[in-house]
Amino acid sequence: MKDFSILEKKLGLKFKNKDLLKQSFTHRSYLNENPDFNLNHNERLEFLGDAVIELIVTEQLYKEYPEKTEGDLTNWRAALVNAKMLTSVAEELGFNDFLLLSRGENKELGKARAYILANTFEAFLGALYLDSGYKLCDEFIKKHLFKNLAGIIQEGSYKDAKSKFQEEAQERDSITPSYKVIKESGPDHEKQFIVGVYLDKELIAEGQGSSKREAEEAAAQLALEVKKWGK
């Protein structure tokens, strides 16, 4: 079994309920191979942590940038809380070494592992919130996640494909793109979505992903290429 006290020491945290910490790293696949394990998987904690992260980031942006529009703040928040960023922070913090996975999932690297890491980061924040409350989560997010905002602004990477496509569509055609799930497949823990992006009623492109947000981003990226916009 993993020694989570090493992670606590590394992060400068001390969980009162150690099971909450352990559960936040428990992937559904681990329970399939370890049916006698005394804890549930981390998906409910992930659901809670997602909301905690979004609220903290939103509050911080609102306070620190009073002169910025809702649109700017929304784009910055999206860049801070997207799966790619959460994966990067989770890797920096050494979360990889503490994941409780099935043998099959343990061998998976690349996109599949990145997705698990992003979800685990959210679950960890959910566990931290339940164990220690909002203030500690706020300090943790500011220290480990919010510090990336300066680089995001400087590089302009906050303008994701959805934002770019919307800007172009409104400027060129005075239309706001809409997104619709065309197909949904796979079990709950391995969902795949195909999403279409439309201008008015015209389907411009389709994108696939393991979440609706990811599929929408893929659809917008392809739509930019189809329309030859944003070059």
Please give the positions annotated as active site.
50, 122
Rounded Cα distance between 48 and 97, Å, is: 23
Q: Count Cβ atoms below 10 Å from residue 78 Cβ, excluding itself.
A: 20
Instruction: Report phi then psi at 133, rounded to 5.
Output: 90, 180
Contacts of 215 (CB under 8 A, 6+ apart): 181, 193, 194, 195, 207, 208, 209
DSSP 3-state percent helix, strand, coil across the chain (nearest 5): 65, 10, 25
Question: Do the beta carbons of residue 199 and residue 173 sit within 8 Å?
Answer: yes
